[in-house]
Chain A
């Protein structure tokens, strides 16, 4: 059995890290990779600003402290990725799968996250000023200590999410479901409640 595995490894038929080495090479050399397989890749501290990474699979990858300023991550998969202290400033992450992403201390300032799946995401202490979370799935998303000033929440269910000590100055809520405690916190923080904000 050991011989069979060794032979498969030599032939490149088994990839230990999961990602496609050619895609990783393309990404690092060309800083562009659409629909690439980068699962589990070690991409720490790399500058991907302005890159088109749409539809790429970064699930389980380590992108901590990497920079994605104005990068296109639409329809990308960053589930289970380590994005601690990464910068997604003014990027687009629409419809991205961000389930269980570890993004503590990351910057999502002005980032478009419409329709993304942020269920079980760790967004503690993120700087998410003016981010757009419209229609994002926010099941048990942890926004504790996050700065969400001027961010938009339209068509969201926030009831299972944590908003403890989050900054909600001028944060815009419309057509959202929130708990009574979340509503009280948001009002105290001077958030803007537009139509159909349900507090229960």
Chain B
């Protein structure tokens, strides 16, 4: 590994003893971790060979401040944009700097707090429960420098109506940060969580992990929004475990970053579990947006659906590589996987690779994938109504994304996210 990511640096980050031990164990593993290369299938088409880890170092403990020292007063404009919410955790450079929660929910045992500062012993048993099964060099690096991060817990039977916000801001040239979001829903619980990431125009490495643990009969709706500055690298793992008769809907909106990768994985562990994965992505300039998805069925009568829609402009590139895995236990499972891409300019490109691995009998499985420019006939139709081509294109692109936008949780954000897509389209067009 590199000189900056040392055991001393990991130890100095402080926090509870279990977390320090966990970090040091990861530092050990880091020395053995194989560094990824694009020759591995899972990194194919990626820009991983352009990542120079020596450019970055982790934050020092004194830069982040003591785990319990919460300096930020609130969530700023992001909190306002999300509308009415039940709770909020603000995370800067991977460490919680503010948390708040509706007192009525607090009294029912709901938690929205820092992983490193939560008084509940529960958290130490939950961190890594989902992500450890999907380890790669970046999750090990993440574990080695995990300073804290957000913990959301909804106990069995409790329903949280309004969203809980987790707002991550990462800043600083040549720095790496390790945001973590851990969401745990007890049996029959219900919640909506927003996990929003951003950074300014800094050369920053974000190595993020989100874990969603959805117990039997629980229902979780989750939206992650990635709006990094265009020099930031983001490597994220989103991994969920979904229990018996539980439902999970994850959605991702990816707009920012220089190279931004999200592994989005749902493991259906209990009979009747369901997961929906949605994404909207829009790349312009020299961006690369990279998605690797997994719909992993390990129980009977499980259902999963995936709809990822993206557009690329300028010289931007996107990758979608997804696997539906129906394990032997997944009898009568039903899985579908759809990836659609608009390539808006000649210099841009999109890869789309859907895969199936079926080990169970009596299952239903479908997949679809498209990559192409805007349909000329659609343009002609709208132009025949007197709509100029630029406006027709704007309508078609927004219309293309509409069925995903319509299904996003945290409806207060949808309008602004559509606006962000239009802004990117218009900026890209101004450069044409």
Q: Do A and B bind each other?
A: no
Which A residues are within 8 Å of any B CB, using their own CB?
none
